[in-house]
Amino acid sequence: MNNNALKDLLYKMADDALIIGHRNSEWTGIGPMLEEDLAFSSMAQDKIGHAQALYQILHEVLGEPEPDKVAFLREEKLFKCCQLVELPIGEYDFSLVRHFLFDHAEAIRYEMLAGSSFQPLAQLAKKIKGEIKYHTMHADTFLKQLATGNDESHARMQSALNYAMPYALGIFEKGEFENELIGQQVFAGEDALKAKWLEKISAVIESAGLQMPKVADDKIVYGGRKGFHSEYLKPLLEEMGEVVSTDPGAEW
């Protein structure tokens, strides 16, 4: 089994979870209502926990640095997260739509990975897919609730969906080891994941009375998996690593 292929897959998954976890945590204390403040905070904590577990596999099984170092001390260009997770939280409509689009992709990814030939990842996927089920239930409920609330909330949800979709399709950007991961039965591949995701989210979007955005191939926002990021990632990484970078060798 190609360790570089495994590292590429695990890093992009872990980096996605870490960054969106930190982004969603920014709703703590400013949510539109107390219940949502708590919900977004709890889901953000789950995401960071998923990232830590993936970094731990990278460290213990694949010989990468320990989780705190890869999370807080890597340069921007070494991160493999998609650009969707990097964007600022914006208004609640955008954060909710991002949560809906991203978590459905994650739910399907972990469902697929539960049968992975790479056993440490398969075992983790079986645990995490149960947690993410509740994230997608939350996203579906509030997407439908806001899309059918009144004319303004419907329009805002459609606008947020139109804006987020080109970034969301960037989740499925293929890495250089795509064929090896498929051939070694580690992961069935980004195309298979995207097809399942489109089928799932299209049904929910339609049931909410929204229109599925059409995005031309040349409008899809790629680059994150290869280290090319939005202007928003570097400041976020600096903020995340501010404490640990003061004394990288300290025992916390």
Q: In this structure, which amino acid lies at residue 123?
A: Q
Q: How many CB atoms lie within 10 A of CB 226?
A: 12
The secondary structure of residue 72, as a DSSP letter, is: H
* pLDDT confidence bin for 39, thresholds 50/70/90: confident
Per-residue confidence (pLDDT) for residue 1, from 0 to 100: 76
Q: Give the pLDDT confidence of 158-196 residue by residue, as tens digits.
A: 999 999 999 999 999 999 999 999 999 999 999 999 999
Q: Is the pLDDT of residue 247 over 90?
A: no
Question: Is residue 75 scored above 70 in pLDDT?
Answer: yes
Tell me the pLDDT tens digit for each residue of 102-145. 999 999 999 999 999 999 999 999 999 999 999 999 999 999 99
Q: What is the pLDDT of residue 31?
A: 58
Q: Which amino acid is at 85?
A: V
Among residues 168, 200, 248, 185, the alpha carbon closest in space to that of 9 is found at 185
Which residue type, as a one-letter code, is found at position 214?
A: K
Range of the domain at 160: 3-245
pLDDT for 251 equals 57
For residue 197, the model assigns a pLDDT of 98
> Hey, is 15 helix, strand or coil?
helix
- Mean pLDDT, residues 86-113 taken together: 97
Task: Give the whole-angstrom CA distance, residue 175 versus residue 227.
Answer: 11
Distance CA 1, CA 117 (A): 9
CATH number for the domain that contains residue 99: 1.20.1260.10
Per-residue pLDDT, 34: 62
**Residue 251 falls inside a structural domain:** no
250 lies in a domain?
no
Residue 186: count of CB within 10 angstroms of its CB: 21
Q: What's the rounded mean pLDDT across residues 77-97?
A: 96
Per-residue pLDDT reduced to its tens digit, 7-35: 999 999 999 999 999 999 998 777 566 67
Q: 242 burial class (0-12, 13-18, 19+ CB within 10 angstroms)?
A: exposed
2: confidence class by pLDDT, cuts 50, 70, 90 = confident
Cβ-contact 86, 20 below 8 angstroms: no
Checking if the pLDDT of 252 tops 60, the result is no
Q: Across all residues in the chain, what is the average pLDDT?
A: 93
Distance CA 136, CA 13 (A): 17
Name every residue whose Cβ is closer than 8 Å to that of residue 187 and which is 6 or more positions away in sequence.
9, 112, 113, 116, 181
Q: Domain count of the chain? A: 1
Q: What is the helix (H) or strand (E) element at residue 19, kind and residue range?
A: helix 3-25
Model pLDDT, residue 33:
65
Residue 205 inside a domain? The answer is yes
Percent of the chain whose predicted confidence (pLDDT) is above 90: 86
pLDDT confidence bin for 246, thresholds 50/70/90 = low
Rounded to the nearest 5 percent, the helix, strand and coil shares of the chain are 70, 0, 30
- For residue 106, give the nearest of 193, 38, 44, 164 by alpha carbon: 193
pLDDT in tens, 218-229: 999 999 999 999
Looking at residue 111, its pLDDT comes to 97
